[in-house]
Structure 1
Amino acid sequence: MKIAILGTRGIPNNHGGFEQFAEYFSVYLAEKNHDVYVYNSHDHPFQEKDFKGVHIIHCHDPESKVGTAGQFIYDLNCILDARKRNFDVILQLGYTSNSIWHQLLPKKPVIITNMDGMEWKRSKYSAKVRKFLKYAEKLAIKSSDFLISDSIGIQDYILEKYNRTSEFIAYGATVFTNPDTEVLSKYNVETNKYCVIIARLEPENNIATIVEGYHQSDTSHSLIIFGSLNDFGNKLQKKYSADKRIQFVGANYNQEELNNLRFYSRYYFHGHSVGGTNPSLLEAMASNTLIIANNNIFNRSILGENAYYFDNSNDVLNVMNADSLFDQKEIYASENIKKIEQLYNWDIINSAYETYILKKLK
C-alpha cells in the first residue's frame, strides 16, 4: 500500500510519543515493502528525503515564529500536499489542528485517525480553547473512515459519546536489557537513591502534586524531573528552589540515558491523568522500575495491580516517608516487563496496525 502519516512534527523523533510511534511504524512498513511517506516540519533537524526507506516530505511549519497557530498552517500544508500524492491510506496521528481542514482531505485514500487523548480536558487551555478542542474532536470523528484508540478508556469514551466503534491498539515499548550506571554521575545520584519524573510540565500531569508531597517528606533521595521548562515548570522550579533534593533538569530525548535513569531509580512517578496510553508509562514498564502512578482509569487499565497509586500529595508524602514499597520493586517490575513482552512490544503493535489498515483497504 501507499500510505502517508500525518500529524507529527516528523521523524526521527525529537519531540514526543506520536513522533516515536511514527518513526517505528513507518520503518516497519518500509521493511515490509510498503510505500511509506511521513510529513516533517520544514525545520526538522533531519533534512534528508529518505529515512531508512521511508520517504520524508518537508512542509512549511511556522509554529516557531507564530506559536500554536502555526500548527494549523503546517497541517494545512501537509493536507494540500497529500492531495497530489494518490495515497491509498492517510493515517492521522491526533486531530487537534488537522480536523478543521477535513473537507480538504483527498477523497481516494482511506482516512484512519488515532484519536489520542481527551485534549479538551487539559487545564492549561482556556475555556474557549477547550470548547474548540471538543469541536475538533467531533470533526475528526465525523470525517474519519476508521478510528484507533490507544487506550480502553478512550475507546469506551468514543463509543459512549459518539456511538462510534474504534480499534484498540496500544502504544509500544522495547524491554531495556543493557543497564549502565555511567549516566548517574551526570545527575550526581547513586543507584536506587533517587526518584524520577519524565513528563511535559503541565498541571494535568500532576507534577505539582508529586513535587509538593516530595518536598514535605523526610526523604534524603533526589527527585529528578525531566521536561521542558515552560511557564508552569519555571514557577514550580522557583517555588521549590530552596529544596536541593528537587532537580528540574529540562527535556532529554536520549532514550539510552532515560532508560538507565529509570532502571536505577528507587521510584518512578507517573502523574498523567488525561486520556490515552502515555508512551513514557510503557517505557517505564520496560525499564525495570517501580511505578507510582496517578489513580485513574487510563493508568490502571495498563498497570493493573503492578504499581502503587496516588490521589494527592499526602499519598506521595506517605510513600516517601514509609519507603516500604522499594522491597517490592522486583515483583512489580518483573510483572510489568512480562506485559511489555506479551502485549506492548513494538513488533506486536506495528503488526496490529498493519493488519488493521490492510483489512480496511479491502
Structure 2
Amino acid sequence: MKIAIIGSRGYPYVYSGYETFVSEVAPRLVAKGVEVHVYCHKKLFKERPKEVNGIRLHYFSSIKSKSLSQWSNTFLCTMHAVFSKYDVILYVNSANGIFGPLTRIFRKRTAINVDGLEWLRPKWKGLGAKVFYLSSKMATRWMDRIITDADAMKDVYIEEFKTESVVIAYGANIRYSRQPELISQWQLEKDGYYLIVGRLIPDNNALLILEEFIRSDSGKKLVIVGDVPYQDEYATRIKAIKDARVIFTGYVNGSDQLAELYHNCFAYFHGHEFGGTNPTLLKALAYGCAVIALDTKFSREVLKSEEHGVYFSKDKDDLCQLIREIEKKPEKLATLKGKSRLRITENYTWEKITGQYFDLFQEMYTSQK
C-alpha cells in the first residue's frame, strides 16, 4: 500500500501540529509495511535526501507570499501526486480542500484531516474566513474521507456541512521530569507558577487569562511561553502589561527546557477556544500537568469533563475567583496531576492514532479494488 501525505511543511521538519503528526505517524506506518511518501517545502531543507527513516521524500517550491505559499506548494505537490501510483493521498489542513476536484478528476482516493474551525478564528476575518469556509466545504464535497480529530468536531461538520467524518484524534508521548534545574534560568521553583503555552492570538485568550491572574492577587508567578512571528496589536497589548509576577519567555526552542516548564508548573492554563483535540493540551496531560481550561466542548472531550480538568468562562472575575479558590484548596490540582497521564494512555497514544490511520487507509485501498 502506497500513501502520500501532502500539506505539512515536510519530514523530518518539526514546527507545528501537522509536522509533529507526520513525524510521529509516518515512521509507524512504515513499520506496519506501508510505503509512505511525504511532500516537503523545498525552501525549508538545505539537504534534501530522497529517503529518511524509510519515508520517501519529495521537495517542491512555492510562491514567496504569506497567503499563497501553502497553496502554491500544495498545487505542485498535487500535480505530482495525481500522476503517481499512490493508493491513497492524505491531505492535512482544511485549506487544502480546494484540491478535491483535482484528485476527483484523476480518480485518486483522497482523505483530508481538516483540523479545527479555521473560518471562526479572529485572525481570518473577512475574505480569509470565507476562503477557509469554502475550502472546508469543498473538501466535504470532493474528497473521499473527511477526518476530524474529536467527536465534537465531527458534530460541527454534520451540522455545518451535512457530512459524516472519521474521528481520529491527535497523540502525545508520556514524559517525566529529568532536569528540573532548567527552570531556574527564569528564577522559577516547582509549583511556584502557572503556565500558558501558545501563540499570542485572540482565540487562545492569553490576555483574558493574564488580566484575571493579575486581579486574583496570587502570590505565584505566571509564565507565558510563545509569541507571534509578526507585528501584532493583540500580542503587543499582552507584552505591554507590567507585573513583577509575569514572565514572558518568548519562544522556548529547547525541548528539554519547555518540557521542564510543563513538568514543574502549579497548573497549566488552556485558553484555546477553537479546534478539536489540541496538541498543547495533550502535551500538558502527557507531561503531568493539572489543567485549568476554558470551558469548551473540545476541552471537555479531551479532559473527560471534570475527571481531568477544571474550567473557567470568559465572564469577568470567573477565573480570578477560581484561582483564589484553588490556591486555598490545592488538593484538587494535586489529584489532577496524579492521574493526568492516564488520559493519554487511555485514548491519545501515537500507536493508537497510527493504527486508526492504517485501518482507514486499508479500508480505502481495498474498497477501490
Relative to the length of structure 2, the TM-score reads 0.91
Name the structure 1 match of 2:309.
307
Q: Distance in 2 between matches of 1:142 and 1:177?
A: 44
Q: Does 1:43 align with 2:43?
A: yes
Q: CA deviation at 1:325?
A: 5.2
Name the structure 2 match of 1:55.
56
- Seen in structure 2, the aligned counterparts of structure 1 residues 42 and 300 have a Cα distance that, compared at 3 Å, is same
Runs (5+) with no aligned partner, structure 1: none
Aligned sequence identity (%): 29
Matched position secondary structure for 1:71: helix
Name the structure 2 match of 1:256.
256
Q: CA deviation at 1:86?
A: 1.4
Q: CA deviation at 1:35?
A: 1.0
The correspondence of residues 28-39 of structure 1 with structure 2, limited to 5 A, is 28-39=28-39
Name the structure 2 match of 1:193.
192
The correspondence of residues 59-208 of structure 1 with structure 2, limited to 5 A, is 59-62=60-63, 65-96=64-95, 98-105=96-103, 107-208=106-207
Runs (5+) with no aligned partner, structure 2: none
Which has the higher mean CA deviation after the structures are superposed, 40-49 or 119-128? 40-49
Question: Does structure 2 retain, via aligned residues, the 8 Å contact 1:147–1:165?
Answer: yes
Q: CA deviation at 1:13?
A: 4.2
Q: Which amino acid aligns with 1:316?
A: L
- C-alpha deviations, 1:145-170, integer Å up to 9, x for none? 01111011110111222222211111
Name the structure 1 match of 2:240.
239
Q: CA deviation at 1:244?
A: 2.8
- Seen in structure 2, the aligned counterparts of structure 1 residues 254 and 31 have a Cα distance that, compared at 3 Å, is farther
Question: Does structure 2 retain, via aligned residues, the 8 Å contact 1:237–1:248?
Answer: no
Q: Distance in 1 between matches of 2:234 and 2:45?
A: 25
Name the structure 2 match of 1:319.
322
Name the structure 2 match of 1:284.
284
- Seen in structure 2, the aligned counterparts of structure 1 residues 225 and 345 have a Cα distance that, compared at 3 Å, is same
Question: Does structure 2 retain, via aligned residues, the 8 Å contact 1:319–1:325?
Answer: no
Q: CA deviation at 1:57?
A: 1.3
Matched position secondary structure for 1:171: coil
Which has the higher mean CA deviation after the structures are superposed, 224-233 or 157-166? 224-233
Matched position secondary structure for 2:4: strand
Q: Distance in 2 between matches of 1:77 and 1:326?
A: 54
Q: 1:353 aligns with which of 346, 354, 357?
A: 357
Which has the higher mean CA deviation after the structures are superposed, 332-341 or 287-296? 332-341
Matched position secondary structure for 1:124: helix
The correspondence of residues 321-340 of structure 1 with structure 2, limited to 5 A, is 321-322=324-325, 323-324=327-328, 326-340=330-344
Matched position secondary structure for 1:38: strand
Q: Distance in 2 between matches of 1:237 and 1:224?
A: 12
Question: Does structure 2 retain, via aligned residues, the 8 Å contact 1:155–1:165?
Answer: yes
- C-alpha deviations, 1:19-46, integer Å up to 9, x for none? 1011111111112221111111112246
Question: Does structure 1 retain, via aligned residues, the 8 Å contact 2:147–2:167?
Answer: yes
Which has the higher mean CA deviation after the structures are superposed, 144-153 or 106-115? 106-115
- Seen in structure 2, the aligned counterparts of structure 1 residues 232 and 179 have a Cα distance that, compared at 3 Å, is farther
- Seen in structure 2, the aligned counterparts of structure 1 residues 222 and 21 have a Cα distance that, compared at 3 Å, is same
Q: Distance in 2 between matches of 1:208 and 1:45?
A: 35
Question: Does structure 2 retain, via aligned residues, the 8 Å contact 1:197–1:226?
Answer: yes
Q: CA deviation at 1:228?
A: 2.8
Q: How many corresponding residue pairs? A: 358
Q: CA deviation at 1:108?
A: 4.1
Matched position secondary structure for 2:354: helix
Q: CA deviation at 1:114?
A: 1.0
Q: CA deviation at 1:302?
A: 1.0
Which has the higher mean CA deviation after the structures are superposed, 344-353 or 310-319? 310-319
- Seen in structure 2, the aligned counterparts of structure 1 residues 178 and 190 have a Cα distance that, compared at 3 Å, is closer
- Seen in structure 2, the aligned counterparts of structure 1 residues 220 and 330 have a Cα distance that, compared at 3 Å, is closer
**Cα root mean square deviation, aligned:** 1.9
- Seen in structure 2, the aligned counterparts of structure 1 residues 11 and 250 have a Cα distance that, compared at 3 Å, is farther
Q: CA deviation at 1:186?
A: 2.3
- C-alpha deviations, 1:264-303, integer Å up to 9, x for none? 0011011111121110111111111110101010000111
